Amino acid sequence: MLCFVCNEASAPKEPANNNKAINGITYNHLNLPSVITVTGKGTITYTYDAAGSKLQKTVAETGQPTKTTLYAGGAVYENDVLQFIAHEEGRMRPGATGFNYDYMLKDHLGNVRMTLTEEQKIDSYPAATMETASATTEETYYSNLPATRVTLPSGYPANTPPGNARVAKVKAASGSQKIGPAMILKVMAGDKFNLTVNCNTPHFLYQRSCLLS
């Protein structure tokens, strides 16, 4: 439960129990918060026009670069970089070659319940090479790398691909590691994957793209 102390105009002045470490809120002549001070973190400063519409927000956090957000009609800039332009049905966000359009579905009270976008996003991930030189990076994306990493087994084509000295080894035998390098991804309808793997078994030659999916 959060309790507030009110100023003369009955606006919240500061949390009485300091749950959020706010130790001061300064109001302007329109009774709008102009400066919020957070203990040990910094300040948030707001600028308004004569009608009370917000024009600017400046976040000065201890040890961090100052972040300034400008509000110009429906356009929002962060440190002078356009973030989006709002319109009645949603917003426009700048992309690499133009604008991406987001459409917001609202309930009868005007609350946004869902956002649909025209943006086509492509995520790329580094290959799980199993090499020790790149282990630190690869292990942030994949699981089971240390448990399956071995030197090249007998019969595996040398230097395939070039520079290859380690592989992932899995076995179906009881007590053996059965699951190789893995990644968990959140997917939605319409998402597509492009996967490639090099593999080798004692009874088959080196193969590419022998992945079952």
Sort strands 4-6 and 166-168 into parallel, antiparallel or unpaired: unpaired
Residues 66/46, Cβ–Cβ less than 8 Å: no
Least confident of 9-23, 172-186, 194-208: 9-23
In the predicted structure, residue 19 carries a pLDDT above the cut 70: no
Q: How confident is the model at residue 8 (pLDDT cuts 50, 70, 90)?
A: low
Least confident of 30-39, 60-69, 76-85, 172-181: 172-181
Q: Is 6 exposed, middle or buried (0-12, 13-18, 19+ CB in 10 A)?
A: exposed
Show the 3-state SS of 134-203.
HHHHHCCCCECHHHHEEECCCCCCCCCCCCCCEEECCCCCCCCCCCCCECCCCCCCCCCCCCCCEEEECC
